[in-house]
Amino acid sequence: MSDERVIDPEGAYIWDGWGTCLSWWANTGLGARDDLAAALFGLDTTRVTTSGREIELPGLGLNIVRYNLGACTWTGGSAMVESPAIVRRKQIETYYDGERWNWSADPNQRSMLAKARDAGADTFEMFSVSPPWWMTVNGNPSGAEQGEQDNLEFQYQDAFARFIAAVARRARDDWGIRFSSVEPFNEPSLTAWHARQNQEGCHFTLGAQEAVIECLRRALDEHGLGDVLIAASDECRYMDAVDTWQKLTEGARRLLGRVNVHAYEPDEKGRSRTKLREAVGEETPIWQSEYAEGEPDGLAMALSISRDIRYLRAAGWVCWQPVEALDWGLLDGEYDDRAPNPTGGAPGTLKGEVGGVNTKYHVLAQYSRHIRPGMRILKSGHTNTVAAHDPSAGRLVLVTVNGGRKRTVTYDLRSLTEGANAARVWVTDTIDAPAARRYARRPDADLQGGLLTVVHESNTVTTMEVDGV
């Protein structure tokens, strides 16, 4: 099979970057590991210690870090109610128990936050999954007794906003971390957040979201954080985000600097993504702020990235758990807290190890190492190809995922260049086979008269770089 793709710079937009969240993996001892910080947030080749051996990995160069502001305390008189299904690493320690501040809380996440910064990350967002337990209706940071009920007490809406602003100010002044955005919700429209589920969570009605957004903007401004934008609403699915955006008041929408959305709706034809972009409009940026699935080969992830960029015109793309078990992570995570304690008091010592590397780590490298922050995303002529241009370096990057049969693709670059004569090529095979390539450098591809022709084998992700564009 063969086809042609015309690369078109019309309507280009700026790429903010690639990222990951720190919960829950960095809530364990993994948050203190320099090798993981180097692999995830740096660009140099680095050696990562696994439970069996050391492995050499190309740095992913993730520049966006989403920090989870916790909701749990275990101080002397704590009346926090714990879900019978939760495990310890999914309980994030918070800084204020309603009476006193504890700025030494949450040491592991804060450790990785600083290590990520030092390794090269430059864009930080703080997000809340649940208000602190003492602000909730039932004292349980996993959710209300019924999933459709709000769990933030009405009387604490302003206090919740001020709490977020106070931590953001502390991070700027004392931690050396400037959060450029804060996100007060996490999948707020879901009815899955109830007192017996296995993580922190909180349902918010539209009215509650609007009230918190207004309080948060005022609190940030009063704390001298007028440059920190509010992102919302981190809905689970694209159509949930469409519904929330359209129902928010115009006043609430004006207070939002960005729309965040999760990628748990497959949306293979891109219709829901397109509807969200049309609803929000071109002026408001969108991030895909949480992606995860249990497929280790990375093919589904690559297809989702392509759709998010083509249809959603996402300016940022964030994976949820880079180190997680059961093939959910880029790296396989092994933790000591797999079983919850049905009598309360989730067990576990927050120990974690890296078991190995999944192919999708190398698939993400095909994108994140080459499409860098500040580059311009171009129209590629096809859903499965992402095109980006670096004006300062005069470099064009093309990343194509091919989940079907072997095909020959001709990329028409004549509107961009006719002077270049070759493209550098890297390939990852999304199959598990002895000779499978993992972010492997391949021979250069010829470029003649502005036409680049490349053969894409089945189940591959291929990156091509052309200079002189």
Catalytic sites, residue numbers? 187, 290
Helix axes of 34-41 and 107-119: crossing angle, nearest 10 degrees = 50
Widest CA span in the chain: 74
> Is there a contact between 203 and 161 (Cβ–Cβ < 8 Å)?
no
- Give the model confidence (pLDDT) of 224-251 as tens digits: 999 999 999 999 999 999 999 999 999 9
- Bridge partners for 323 per DSSP: 331
Per-residue CA distances from 254 to 230, 250, 257 (Å)? 10, 6, 8
DSSP strand pairing (376-379 vs 8-14): antiparallel
What is residue 371's predicted lDDT score, i.e. its pLDDT?
A: 98
pLDDT in tens, the chain (469 residues): 678 899 999 999 999 999 999 999 999 999 999 999 999 999 999 999 999 899 999 999 999 999 999 999 987 677 899 999 999 999 999 999 999 999 999 999 999 999 999 999 999 999 999 999 999 999 999 999 999 999 999 999 999 999 999 999 999 999 999 999 999 999 999 999 999 999 999 999 999 999 999 999 999 999 999 999 999 999 999 999 999 999 999 999 999 999 999 999 999 999 999 999 999 999 999 999 999 999 999 999 999 999 999 999 999 999 999 999 999 999 999 998 776 765 666 667 789 999 999 999 999 999 999 999 999 999 999 999 999 999 999 999 999 999 999 999 999 999 898 778 899 999 999 998 889 999 999 999 999 999 999 999 999 999 999 999 9
Closest CA to 230 of 202, 246, 247, 251: 251
Radius of gyration of the chain (CA): 22
- C-alpha to C-alpha distance for 149 and 4, rounded to whole angstroms: 52
Side chain identity, residue 166: A
- C-alpha to C-alpha distance for 16 and 36, rounded to whole angstroms: 22
- C-alpha to C-alpha distance for 136 and 332, rounded to whole angstroms: 34
Instruction: Give the total residue count for the chain.
Output: 469
Looking up tokens 């959305």 gives 261
What is residue 374's predicted lDDT score, i.e. its pLDDT?
A: 98
- C-alpha to C-alpha distance for 234 and 245, rounded to whole angstroms: 11
3-state secondary structure of 27: helix
- Bridge partners for 376 per DSSP: 14, 389
- Give the model confidence (pLDDT) of 50-69 as tens digits: 998 999 999 999 999 999 99
- Bridge partners for 72 per DSSP: 93
3-state secondary structure of 129: coil
Domains of the chain, with CATH numbers?
A: 2-8+376-467 (2.60.40.1180), 17-368 (3.20.20.80)
> Residue 29 is encoded by which pair of tokens?
């001892």
- C-alpha to C-alpha distance for 333 and 29, rounded to whole angstroms: 12
What is residue 337's predicted lDDT score, i.e. its pLDDT?
A: 79
What is residue 3's predicted lDDT score, i.e. its pLDDT?
A: 87
Per-residue CA distances from 362 to 292, 296, 396 (Å)? 15, 11, 20
